[in-house]
Amino acid sequence: MAAPATKVDVKNINDKPDKMSKTLVENSSTLVQLIEEMREIRKSQQFLSDQYEEMKKHLHYVDEEVKTLHIENQDLKDQVCKLEAESGQMQEDINNLKQYGGRECLAFQGLSWEESKNTDQLVIGVSKLLQVDLSAKDISVSHRLSQASESNWQPTIIARFCSRRIRDSVINNRHQLRAHNKDHPKARLFINESLTKTNCCRFNQ
């Protein structure tokens, strides 16, 4: 047979609903707080997800721009190569025209500077050493190159002849200068083709 309930037991029984209610209230408050925190977490996750998608779109845009710039850059490189080739061909054509324009010219090197004689007279004097009959009317024009463009102190004389025949007779007999150069080693004379600066550099390579 069970013992009769005491006042303490009755008090404990009466206090249980209050304790449970208090516990439920506390748990409910905690649950509400957890729900709010979850909502904030979801908001943060959504924000990060939106930012990530935005970055993906931006990176895709940048990638497309890079591809476009790469294509444009390659096109520009091709154009530059084409222009360089055309420029090189134009320079070669100009050089050839200059060389063709000087086909009646010869370069006389080693002639000393004589104020009493003009360049035509000096060229005629060399022609006598070659045993070539030459007069002033056979020379269209002659002049000395500027001393700054010459490696030696005797500026070269460029002479343009009135005909190819006269010009060829001079250069074909330049071997006659060997005797003069042998007898005058300090005043040697030379006759060469009148080359453009480009062709002269090529010849000296």
Spatial separation of the C-alpha atoms in residues 66 and 126, rounded to whole Å: 70
Q: What is the mean pLDDT of residues 43-48?
A: 86
Percent of the chain past pLDDT 70, that is, above it, reads 82
> CA quadruple 82, 87, 92, 93: dihedral positive or negative?
positive
120 exposure class (CB count in 10 Å sphere: 0-12, 13-18, 19+): buried
Using one digit for the tens of pLDDT, what is the confidence trace for 55-79?
988 888 999 999 999 999 999 999 9
Helix (H) or strand (E) holding 192: strand 190-193
Residue 104 near residue 167 (C-beta atoms within 8 A): yes
- Banded model confidence at residue 130, pLDDT cuts 50, 70, 90: very high
User: HSE on the CB side for 8, CA within 13 Å?
Assistant: 0
Q: Which fold has domain 104-204?
A: Alpha-Beta Plaits (3.30.70)
The confidence score (pLDDT) of residue 17 equals 58
Question: How far is residue 152 from each of residues 17, 67, 100, 141, 190, measured CA to CA in Å?
Answer: 123, 58, 27, 23, 13
Spatial separation of the C-alpha atoms in residues 35 and 47, rounded to whole Å: 18
Q: What is the mean pLDDT of residues 12-29?
A: 63
Name the residue with tokens 């030379």: 190
Spatial separation of the C-alpha atoms in residues 53 and 60, rounded to whole Å: 10
Assign 170 to helix, strand or coil: helix
Using one digit for the tens of pLDDT, what is the confidence trace for 139-155?
999 998 876 544 556 78
Spatial separation of the C-alpha atoms in residues 42 and 175, rounded to whole Å: 102
In this predicted structure, which of 45-49, 84-88, 115-119, 157-161 has the lowest mean pLDDT?
115-119
- Is the pLDDT at 158 greater than 70, yes or no? yes
Q: What is the pTM of this model?
A: 0.58
- Can you give the residue ranges of every domain in the chain? 7-101, 104-204
The confidence score (pLDDT) of residue 100 equals 86
User: Which of the pair, 121 or 12, is modelled with greater confidence?
Assistant: 121
In this predicted structure, which of 17-21, 32-36, 193-197 has the lowest mean pLDDT?
17-21
Q: How many C-beta atoms lie closer than 10 Å to residue 160's C-beta?
A: 17
The confidence score (pLDDT) of residue 150 equals 46
